[in-house]
Amino acid sequence: MTPVVSAALGALGPLLVKLSGLLAGEYGRLKGVRREIRSLESELTTMHAALEEYTKLEDPSGQVKAWISLVRELAYDTEDIFDKFIHHLGKRGHRGGFKEFLRKITLPLKTLGARCEIADQIDDLKDRIKQVKDLKDSYKLNDVPSSTTGHLALDPRLHAVFAEEAHLVGVDGPRDDLAKWMVEEGSNSSKPRKVLSIVGFGGLGKTTLANEIYRKIQGQFDCKAFVSVSQKPDIKKIMKDVISQVSCQGGSTNDTSDWDEIKSISKLRELLQNKRYLIIIDDIWSAQAWKTIKCAFPENSCSSRIIVTTRIIDVAKSCCLGGDDQMYELKSLSDLHSRILFFTRIFGSGKNCPDMLEEVSNNILKKCGGLPLAIISIAGLLANRPAIKEEWEKVKRSIGSALEKTKSLEGMSSILSLSYNDLAPNLKTCLLYLSLFPEDHVIERTRLVRLWIAEGFISEERGQSKQEAAENYFYELINKSMVQPVDIGFDGKVRACRVHDMMLELIISKSVEGNFTTVVGGGQNLENQQGYIRRLSIQYIDKELASALVNVDISHVRTLIVMPSCCIKHLPALDQFEALRVLDFEGCKDLKDSDMNGMDKLFQLKYLNFRGTDISKLPSGIVMLGNLETLVSGYTGVHELPAGFGRLTKLQHLEGRGWILPDGIGDMKNLQLMSGFVIASSKTDVLEDLGNLTSLKELKVDLRPANRIFDKVSCEDKRCEEAFLSSLCKLGTCKLRSLDISLSCASLDFLDSWSPLPSSLQRFSTDYKYSFTKFPKWITPALTNLADLCICLTEMTEDDLVTLGQVPSLLRLFLWPSNKLVATVQRNSFLNLKVLDFGFKTERAYVTFVKGSAPKLEELTITFSVSAAKANGFYSGIEHLSSLKEAKIYLDDEDATPSECKAAAAEIRKEAGANPNHLALTFEGESDSEGEDNEETSGSDEEGGSDTDEDNEETSGSDEKSKGEGDTDES
């Protein structure tokens, strides 16, 4: 599918949804309007159907591309006109009485000029639609076949199959390890068939690795075959290919030309039934294809082996359902291996890089990102050019455009395009959107899915909300290896993603071709802009670029994303962007209050992000943005919301930091997330309003006096407690999933009477040392969805720990009691827990683990009282924690001698050594003399544990980060 089709579908799909909504709503009942909308909807639906047919074309003609571009621009302009129509017509019928009567009389007069203009624009639209329709007929596009046929392109994977072993770099280690695993029989005497699935990004070397394993072990097998599957597998041909290969190795068969799939599979099973076979199934794209193919390979007891390669994680998993199977995720080449491969291909040696080329070669290798195919392709391009810096710089700058135009990079482009072409149209649109972000940019999942929703790319499907559907799209792009996951949390959820530089070059190229996005400061030339700018990313801007932007029509820009590196003073005024739906200034430190002038003119705005800027107040005009759905303004100087803020009734996500929550929020019933707000103890009206927000899924609130330094009003105020508890009880019957409460005094013991509890509650967190004086009564095993709990207590008992151990879904627990806690974590408790943190606040704590407790625990932070443990031989029980990867232990030396502390540390190290995971063990509070020993213990798993260490850094973090903002999850 071509990018222009993706971009057009991304424009037309949201428009059809909008027109359908207008017909079903009050505007569809207006005289004359319904007929116009229905006519437009009918014509555009026909065009949408045609676009879907063109998605099947592998190489559409120039006429098809031209027609698609016309449809795309038509869709954008149609949506803009109807948005203006809705805005100027105004809301109808929401208030009664004389004022409403007067408004209905005067409204047509006030908006007469605008409505006449819109009527003229609709007439123009109808003319354009007719022209586009006629053009399709004149081009005879109705006769275009649904798929293209012709000569078959050379398979870009062939070089991997026939690559010379001497030319390969970085393959030896994985090849030898996996080859050893392939021929191992294990303890199972039945010698079962085993499957190895190799998964990774396109161009990473999966086929090469599979072929090297094949070469190394093929002599140990009776029958061997290597077949490629492709995106549209011909099962009959695949079976015949395998049959022909195994028949040449001792078998024999008749002519297979007239065999169907069933006969081919049956014959292959017959040939292999009592043979030890080795089969490579290369580049499989669907679990269904594997399900069919595997039927041909009998599960005999001859130690047969199958190697499968795929780019899709779910497919790789579906191939490895047997207990003896293995999935291997292929990683990028290391920096060292990348350099060796790169310079060997150019100079014949991995060490002969001239000094003048060192810097530019490092930049080129960084863009290749350890992707062997990219390194080989670009090295081949450079090998034919003079080895001078200017020539190499020219190649580096033009890699994106060269992907499509340069012969030596055709293979690279083909490999990446295979992955892109395999995506569904809606996923293509979402992927193209990532071209708005610069290379190496880490894009938060929450931010990205909200942007997709604001753009109209996401629809509710099969009972899923838009949020859930968008999250599924995000994970599907990861699953298909189109984007790389960053920061995987304790719950397995990916917090952010990054796009490989080579994939980013490809989607930028496709986005530009389809006029989907425009980037200023990213090498894109505004002078060559085709059509109106619709989505604009400003990654760098100076006076020269600002002058170029002035000469471009920006009134049709729907999305404006400004990167932190930009100089805001060079940007055009906001009121020039009258069609904006998305405005994102995240991280722009030099954004000032005055830069927000004209905000009230952006009536179509749905998404507004000021997070990490230097603004001190929100513009008062923000209350005019009646379509606003997301407002993010954390880590700014803003502390108050403007008067009338409660009028933003479409708002769904409201994210701040330290904001004083105003009166009048009770009508904001669409709010799903509200984070970072201070409620003064005297504001009982605001606390009561919280109970009216029945769509809330996530609430993060600060129950402190508005003036934290001078105002000494206490949160013990009974009216405050009663109002807050009453609201929580109302929310208990709704969808509340996450509740974070901050407070600086008193306690939350009044929550003992919280009822009913929200059955959907997944996270509860408090940050004050004495949040509860005793263990809360409402925490019971009945909270079957509670996965993340952080509480601070004055006092805790072993019975309380037993209760927590029976909460079935608990994955992460921050438990900070202040009293002396001596307890044992019992067998069959904390069955799913992955992170357990007792903090360093517990006094004289001694908690031990028995065999069968916390079987999935990966991270442990705990205080270990040496004096309390002395009678038990300093036993900790961590050798029983079979999944433990990292343990941080604070040695409490109160009432203990230095020799006892040393003995305790030695015993814990001994137990850690007995743990099968070779876990990373660190001590806090140990004497300096042990520091060197500490380092050795922590690094004991250096060779095989680098990935684990990185994950631990990302997912555990400091106490505040782990349980604080940015870690909640509204899904």
The model's pLDDT over 780-821, given as tens digits with 9 standing for 90+, comes to 998 999 999 999 888 889 999 999 999 999 999 998 888 888
Asked whether residue 652 carries a pLDDT value surpassing 90, the answer given is: yes
Residue 189: pLDDT band (50, 70, 90) is: low
What's the mean pLDDT when you consider all of the chain? 80
Burial degree of 264 (CB within 10 A; 0-12, 13-18, 19+)? buried
Task: Give 349's DSSP letter.
Answer: S
At 231 the pLDDT is 78
At 430 the pLDDT is 94
CA nearest to 368, candidates 292, 439, 464, 433: 439
Question: Which residues neighbour 799 within 8 Å (Cβ) at sequence distance 6 or greater?
Answer: none
Residue 941: pLDDT band (50, 70, 90) is: very low
At 357 the pLDDT is 84
Q: Measure the CA–CA gap between 637 and 660, rounded to whole angstroms.
A: 12
The distance from CA 448 to its chain's CA centroid, rounded to whole angstroms, is: 8
- DSSP 3-state of 246: helix
Give the range among 90-94, 528-532, 876-880 with minimum mean pLDDT. Answer: 90-94
At 414 the pLDDT is 77
At 950 the pLDDT is 35
At 609 the pLDDT is 96
Structure tokens at 509: 């190229």
Contact between 863 and 817 under an 8 Å Cβ cutoff? The reply is: no
Asked whether residue 74 carries a pLDDT value surpassing 70, the answer given is: yes
Contact between 816 and 963 under an 8 Å Cβ cutoff? The reply is: no
Asked whether residue 307 carries a pLDDT value surpassing 70, the answer given is: yes
Residue 31: pLDDT band (50, 70, 90) is: low
Residue 358: pLDDT band (50, 70, 90) is: confident
Structure tokens at 891: 């040695």
Return the higher-pLDDT residue of 170 and 760. 760
Q: Is the dihedral of CA 404, 407, 408, 411 positive or negative?
A: positive
SS3 readout for 552-570:
CCCCCCCEEEECCCCCHHH
HSE-CB of 720 using CA atoms within 13 angstroms: 18
Place of tokens 């080859």: 179
Residue 24: pLDDT band (50, 70, 90) is: low
At 585 the pLDDT is 95
Q: Span 905-923, mean pLDDT?
A: 90
Question: Which residues neighbour 171 within 8 Å (Cβ) at sequence distance 6 or greater?
Answer: 205, 208, 209, 212
Structure tokens at 176: 């030898």
761-774 b/e (C-beta count within 10 Å ≥ 16 → b): bbbbbbbbebbbee
Could you tell me where the DSSP H helices lie in 348-458? 358-368, 372-383, 389-397, 399-405, 410-421, 425-433, 445-455
At 260 the pLDDT is 79
Contact between 22 and 37 under an 8 Å Cβ cutoff? The reply is: yes
Return the higher-pLDDT residue of 522 and 444. 444
Could you tell me where the DSSP H helices lie in 794-884? 798-805, 866-869
Of 38-42, 106-110, 896-900, give the range with the top mean pLDDT.
896-900
Strand locations in 200-271 (E): 223-228
- ∠ CA(412), CA(414), CA(416), 5° rounding? 70
Contact between 585 and 591 under an 8 Å Cβ cutoff? The reply is: yes
Asked whether residue 708 carries a pLDDT value surpassing 60, the answer given is: no
Asked whether residue 927 carries a pLDDT value surpassing 50, the answer given is: no
Structure tokens at 271: 């040939």
Could you tell me where the DSSP H helices lie in 294-388? 313-318, 335-347, 358-368, 372-383
Q: Measure the CA–CA gap between 648 and 622, rounded to whole angstroms.
A: 9
Q: Span 940-960, mean pLDDT?
A: 36
Q: Measure the CA–CA gap between 404 and 469, rounded to whole angstroms.
A: 33
Q: Measure the CA–CA gap between 674 and 374, rounded to whole angstroms.
A: 44
CA nearest to 224, candidates 162, 297, 172, 156: 297
List, in sequence order, every residue forming a beta bridge with 537; answer none if it has no partner. 519, 561
Asked whether residue 148 carries a pLDDT value surpassing 50, the answer given is: no
Helix (H) or strand (E) holding 99: helix 97-110
Instruction: Tell me whether the CATH fold assigned to 171-245+267-329 matches the one assigned to 423-513.
Output: no
Contact between 245 and 280 under an 8 Å Cβ cutoff? The reply is: no
Contact between 680 and 743 under an 8 Å Cβ cutoff? The reply is: no
Please report, for residues 521, 527, 530, 573, the alpha-carbon distance to residue 546 in angstroms, rounded to integers and kept in the order given. 10, 13, 19, 12
Asked whether residue 42 carries a pLDDT value surpassing 90, the answer given is: no
Contact between 375 and 412 under an 8 Å Cβ cutoff? The reply is: no
Asked whether residue 340 carries a pLDDT value surpassing 50, the answer given is: yes
Q: Cis peptide leading into 756, omega within 30 of 0?
A: yes
Asked whether residue 200 carries a pLDDT value surpassing 80, the answer given is: yes
pTM of the model: 0.82
Residue 444: pLDDT band (50, 70, 90) is: very high
Q: Span 151-156, mean pLDDT?
A: 45
Please report, for residues 128, 417, 514, 526, the alpha-carbon distance to residue 4 in angstroms, rounded to integers and kept in the order given. 19, 14, 4, 19
Q: What is the distance between the terminal CA atoms of the chain, rounded to a whole angstrom?
A: 32
Asked whether residue 388 carries a pLDDT value surpassing 90, the answer given is: no
Q: Measure the CA–CA gap between 616 and 853, rounded to whole angstroms.
A: 51
At 236 the pLDDT is 84
Please report, for residues 335, 344, 377, 950, the alpha-carbon distance to residue 332 in angstroms, rounded to integers and kept in the order given. 9, 18, 16, 16
Residue 405: pLDDT band (50, 70, 90) is: low
Asked whether residue 947 carries a pLDDT value surpassing 50, the answer given is: no
Percent of the chain with pLDDT over 90: 28
Burial degree of 878 (CB within 10 A; 0-12, 13-18, 19+)? buried
CATH topology for the 423-513 domain: Arc Repressor Mutant, subunit A (1.10.10)
Please give the class, per CATH, of domain 171-245+267-329: alpha beta
Return the higher-pLDDT residue of 310 and 949. 310
Rounded to the nearest 10 degrees, how much is the dihedral formed by the CA atoms of 173, 174, 179, 182? 150
Contact between 608 and 630 under an 8 Å Cβ cutoff? The reply is: yes
Q: Residue 758: count other Cβ atoms within 10 Å of its Cβ.
A: 24
Asked whether residue 586 carries a pLDDT value surpassing 90, the answer given is: yes
DSSP labels, 157-204: THHHHS--GGG--S-HHHHHHHHHHHH--TT-TT---EEEEEE--TTS
Q: Span 542-550, mean pLDDT?
A: 85
Asked whether residue 474 carries a pLDDT value surpassing 90, the answer given is: yes
Burial degree of 795 (CB within 10 A; 0-12, 13-18, 19+)? middle
Q: Span 191-207, mean pLDDT?
A: 88
Asked whether residue 605 carries a pLDDT value surpassing 90, the answer given is: yes
Please report, for residues 305, 308, 645, 766, the alpha-carbon distance to residue 239 in angstroms, rounded to integers and kept in the order given. 17, 15, 66, 61
Return the higher-pLDDT residue of 970 and 547. 547
Contact between 737 and 491 under an 8 Å Cβ cutoff? The reply is: no
| Annotated domain spans of the chain | 3-139, 171-245+267-329, 423-513, 517-638, 795-926
Asked whether residue 559 carries a pLDDT value surpassing 90, the answer given is: yes
Residue 580: pLDDT band (50, 70, 90) is: very high
CA nearest to 297, candidates 276, 323, 320: 276
Q: Measure the CA–CA gap between 672 and 251, rounded to whole angstroms.
A: 65
Q: Per residue in 242-294, pLDDT tens?
A: 888 887 655 555 666 677 788 888 888 888 888 888 999 998 999 999 998 88
List, in sequence order, every residue forming a beta bridge with 892; answer none if it has no partner. 865
Give the range among 36-40, 410-414, 674-678 with minimum mean pLDDT. Answer: 410-414
